[in-house]
Structure 1
């Protein structure tokens, strides 16, 4: 059984890593070369995609992701604490979970018109702030879902002791809930960044200025342009856009491990 488990894990790892390995090798191809491995390897694709603005696009993606993560944490953290500790019933908790599940189940296109009109009315079209707010439709329910589970784990004895000492709900939130949910907050922020980093539909529709393109939108434009057949350019852009979410996966995994083992 242990050997079978090892084989299954190895196959899963190869399935996950093989496409990325192919893209990495393709990024070192020479112009006009379409066979792997690259012979000889070249960084021409990376130089070209840097000239095309991938650096600014990555910064734009990072800005949108950080704004989306900040909004999600800022709303989900106090909301989850309020639901878990300030007298809301279990029925209310179940209703919140049902609502978040319903929101998460809707395809992005189903809400596209409503979100577009809302951002247009707020004057936030073609802005990173507006895009980050639009992503709350999906990132905020996820953040609430995760944080609610951990808010219920905060020790009632510690809460009772603080209440006896005269701590108000606001003080209990800042001095008990925030430190206790530090790792959950980090995990939610990392997962939000991962989720919104590669999103294409909203970013392509709500952002029009080329200088504001996110990495996913820029890569989409490259694929549909004359560079669509330059495997080295497309692959180099894909590799550079993949590095930040891979790092975020590591941060999220580390935070979730600390939560699980209480470290």
Structure 2
């Protein structure tokens, strides 16, 4: 396999490019963490440093004192978890049908799913607002969850179609020979093999809903119902001056759930993918 060999200079260039990319990705987060632990005097320093000279938790205390971060985090958690769960439950049987029964209709539907992701939020916000208003779901978490489900469903469906197609259809045919119906086959045979895909799709839907700002800003008016991304804007004054320390502390806390969830399930996703590759 000599064509796979790469010269040492090329390999060194690849590692250097990878290192530069990792630094590019990590820089905003590391600077955010550094800012969150700096004192107000150090934040005003004309020559900022990476490591805080006098680390302090005052920014975190001030952030919790100024804004209802805990309530907003619970609202975001409820909306994101519910949207991810519902989206996966709806997308799984749809993906099964689209993957196993290919036709012009399913091909067109798959294309529409991909194209729909390019629609800007502004294009749908007015009709969406009117629909939710008629359903009396404005300024309510159920209405926001419904929006998140609809918005994340196309991409979740597109992801799961690929995972379903990777499952050998012979397993489902064997289950049918044993007398299992389509629903039983989906639940007992296909779904366990789709576990890594289901987890990855749910994670995508969760992070999308957790970080979403525009819909939450337009649809939620009561402060006690607002989500965490909307509450973060309250640290910016009317004249556009940001309370940088508390804002950095609150933003740092807002990134933790996604990082923790991903770190917990990362090994399971990778292990499941490798197991599926070995079995196939």
The TM-score with structure 1 as length reference comes to 0.92
Distance in 1, Cα, partners of 2:258 & 2:168: 33
Q: What is the CA–CA distance in structure 2 between the aligned matches of 1:9 and 1:90, rounded to whole Å?
A: 41
Equivalent position of 1:206 in the other structure:
219
**Which of 1 and 2 has greater Rg?**
2
User: Unaligned regions of 5+ residues in structure 1, if any?
Assistant: none
Paired residue for 2:210? Answer: 197
Tell me what 1:83 maps to: 98
**What is the 5 A alignment of 1:16-55?**
16-32=25-41, 33-35=43-45, 36-37=48-49, 38-51=52-65, 52-55=67-70
Post-superposition Cα deviations, 1:47-78, rounded to whole Å, max 9, x if no partner, equal: 01122211211111111100110121011011
Cα RMSD of the aligned pairs, angstroms, is: 1.9
| Conserved 8 A contact 1:49-1:236 | yes
CA–CA distance in structure 2, aligned partners of residues 254 and 195 of structure 1: 21
Is residue 99 of structure 1 aligned with residue 99 of structure 2? no
Q: Tell me which residue corresponds to 2:83.
A: 68
Q: Which moved more, 1:173-182 or 1:141-150?
A: 173-182
Shift of 1:92: 2.7
Indicate the SS of the match to 2:62.
Answer: helix
Q: Which residue does 1:230 correspond to in 2?
A: 243
Q: Call closer, same or farther: CA 1:12–1:182 in 2, change over 3 Å.
A: same
Q: Could you state the TM-score of these two structures normalised by the residue count of structure 2?
A: 0.87
CA shift at 1:84, angstroms? 2.2
| Contact 2:195/2:272 (8 A) holds in 1 | no
Shift of 1:132: 1.4
Query: How many residue pairs were aligned?
Result: 261
1:184 and 2:194 correspond: no
Deviation at residue 128 of structure 1 after TM alignment: 1.4
**Aligned position for 1:154:** 167
